């Protein structure tokens, strides 16, 4: 195996970072797909529940109300998982923009942005740091936002299904 000289990077360092970046992107796409599937399911459940409630002249069964509420809450969490965060506020002190993320460089003058990136590309360590910064920030979005809200959405949906079943059983038992 090739060893890097002290102060230099291993020959496959770029490939390793590209693989990690591709993996992070794939995880992000999977989270978006899961959120979309869950949102579709919860919107159908919520729509059917509301439609049933509006079509009936009778009181809304508690089990249907529980199902509708949990479906709605789950959908909100699913939307939160995929909702883009566009910040226009002034960045906090010490904020280091991600030169590879469009949300940061879109606010810059094109020439200033290109000059800053080219400066980093001239220095191997600066280039690796730029790539690592991008990878780290993408991972933070996955960890702090997408997968967190996706987990909430799935948990709420499951709890809602269980609570609906329990409420339904109680309603049926009360009839007899």
Average pLDDT rounded to a whole number, residues 36-64: 89
Q: Which of 49-63, 77-91, 96-110, 162-176 has the highest mean pLDDT?
A: 162-176
Q: Note the pLDDT of residue 79.
A: 96
Alpha-carbon gap, residue 158 to 175, rounded angstroms: 26
Which of 117, 34, 45, 47 has the alpha carbon at shortest distance from 78? 34
Average pLDDT rounded to a whole number, residues 40-66: 88
Say if residues 34 and 142 touch (Cβ distance below 8 Å): no
Residue 84 has pLDDT above 80, yes or no: yes
Res. 11 pLDDT band, cuts 50 70 90: confident
Q: Note the pLDDT of residue 55.
A: 85
Alpha-carbon gap, residue 92 to 59, rounded angstroms: 52
Token code pair at residue 98: 């991600």
Q: Return the higher-pLDDT residue of 106 and 41.
A: 41
Rg of the chain, C-alpha, whole Å? 24
Going by C-beta distance under 8 Å and a sequence separation of 6 or more, which residues neighbour residue 124?
8, 9
Token code pair at residue 175: 């009839």
Say if residues 85 and 145 touch (Cβ distance below 8 Å): yes
Which of 42, 48, 50 has the alpha carbon at shortest distance from 152? 42
Alpha-carbon gap, residue 166 to 171, rounded angstroms: 9
CA atoms lying within 13 Å on the CB side of residue 141: 21
pLDDT digits (tens, 9 = 90+) for 138-174: 999 999 999 999 999 999 999 999 999 999 999 999 9
Strand, coil or helix: what is 162? helix
Residue 98 has pLDDT above 80, yes or no: yes
Q: Exposed/middle/buried for 61, CB within 10 Å: 0-12, 13-18, 19+?
A: middle
Residue 16 has pLDDT above 90, yes or no: yes
What's the mean pLDDT when you consider all of the chain?
Answer: 90
């Amino acid at each position: 195996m090739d060893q890097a000289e002290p102060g230099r990077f291993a020959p496959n360092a770029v490939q390793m970072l590209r693989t990690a970046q591709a993996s992070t992107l794939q995880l992000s796409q999977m989270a978006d797909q899961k959120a979309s599937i869950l949102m579709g399911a919860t919107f159908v459940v919520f729509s059917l529940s509301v439609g049933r409630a509006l079509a009936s002249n009778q009181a809304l069964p508690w089990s249907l109300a529980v199902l509708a509420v949990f479906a709605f809450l789950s959908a909100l969490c699913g939307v939160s998982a995929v909702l883009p965060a566009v910040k226009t506020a002034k960045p906090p002190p010490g904020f280091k923009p991600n030169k590879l993320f469009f949300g940061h460089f879109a606010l810059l003058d094109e020439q200033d942005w290109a000059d800053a990136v080219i400066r980093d590309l001239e220095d191997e360590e600066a280039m690796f740091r730029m790539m690592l910064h991008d990878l780290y920030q993408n991972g933070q979005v996955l960890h702090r936002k997408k997968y967190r809200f996706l987990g909430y959405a799935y948990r709420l949906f499951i709890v809602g299904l269980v609570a609906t079943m329990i409420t339904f059983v109680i309603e049926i038992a009360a009839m007899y």
